[in-house]
Amino acid sequence: MALEVGTNPMSMDAIAAALVEDFGGDLTDVRVQEPDTIVARCDRAALAAVAQRLKDHPQIGYQTLNWVAGVDRMKHFESIYHVYSWKTNTWLQLSVEVPFGTPEVDTVTGVWPCADWHEREAWDMFGIVYVGHPDLRRILLKDDFIGHPLRKDYIDNAENHPHV
C-alpha cells in the first residue's frame, strides 16, 4: 500500500544509519543534507552492484531513478544519481567520481531503465562513457558535433561549426 505524500515511517537519521550498516564500505560519506535528502558517495567499480542493492533494499528500496547528472569538478568528473524511495518518500543523491583519464563508469540502465536517456545526455555534454549502455550516442547535440561542450576545458572554435 502506497504511503501518503510526504509521510516517512523512518527518521532520516535511521535511514542514514541503515544505509551505513547495510552497505558498509560501499557507501561512504553518508549524511543527511536536507529534510528529505541523503547524500552519499560510491566507488565507481562497485556502482552497478550497489545500485541493484539500493533498489532491492527491503526497508528503503530506491525504486525510481529521477535523473543522472554530470559535473566537472576540475579535478575529476562526477556522475550523480538522484533516486527516490517510495517506501520512505525520501531522496538519495549518489555521487560517483569519474577520473579525467578514463572517464568510464558502469551503466545503471539494467537497474533503472530510465537511465538510458540521462546517461546519453551526460555522455553528450561531458564525455562520460557509460560502459554497457545499450545505445550510447548523442541525444541533444547533432551527431557530428566535435567535443563535449560542458567540460570546463572545452574551447569552442570554427571547426566545431562545419555547417553554419
Partner 1 sequence: MGVSDLRYPKLENFNKPNVITTTADFIFSWARSHSVFPFTYGLACCAIEMLSSGFARYDVARYGMEVFRPTPRQCDLMIVAGTCNEKMAPVLRRLYDQMSEPKWVISMGACATSGGPFYDGYNVVNGVDKIVPVDVYIPGCPPRPEALFQGLLELQGIIQRYKFVAELPEVGAGGDGGRKG
Does the protein bind partner 1 through residue 141 (CB under 8 A)? yes
Q: According to the binding rule CB under 8 A, does residue 151 interact with partner 1?
A: no
Distance in angstroms (rounded) separating the CA atoms of residues 89 and 86: 5
Decide: is 152 part of the binding site for partner 1 (CB under 8 A). Answer: no
Strand, helix or coil for residue 100: coil
Piece of 87-95, 110-118, 128-136, 148-156 that binds partner 1 (CB under 8 A): 148-156
Q: Are strands 129-131 and 37-42 parallel, antiparallel or unpaired?
A: unpaired
Backbone dihedral angles phi then psi of residue 153, each to the nearest 5 degrees: -95, 15
Minimum distance between the CB of residue 13 and partner 1, rounded to whole angstroms?
Answer: 44
Q: Residue 63's closest CA among 89, 39, 44, 27?
A: 89
Q: Which stretch binds partner 1 (CB under 8 A): 55-63, 69-77, 83-91, 139-147?
A: 139-147
Which residues on adjacent β-strands are paired with residue 90? Answer: 85
Query: Grid coordinates representing 150?
Result: 560542458
In this chain, which of 145, 153, 158, 159 binds partner 1, going by CB under 8 A? 145
Nearest CB to partner 1, comparing residues 114 and 150: 150
Tell me whether residue 131 or residue 140 sits nearer to partner 1 (CB atom): 140
Alpha-carbon gap, residue 54 to 26, rounded angstroms: 11
Residues of this chain that bind partner 1 (CB under 8 A): 140-142, 145, 149, 154, 156, 160-161, 163-164
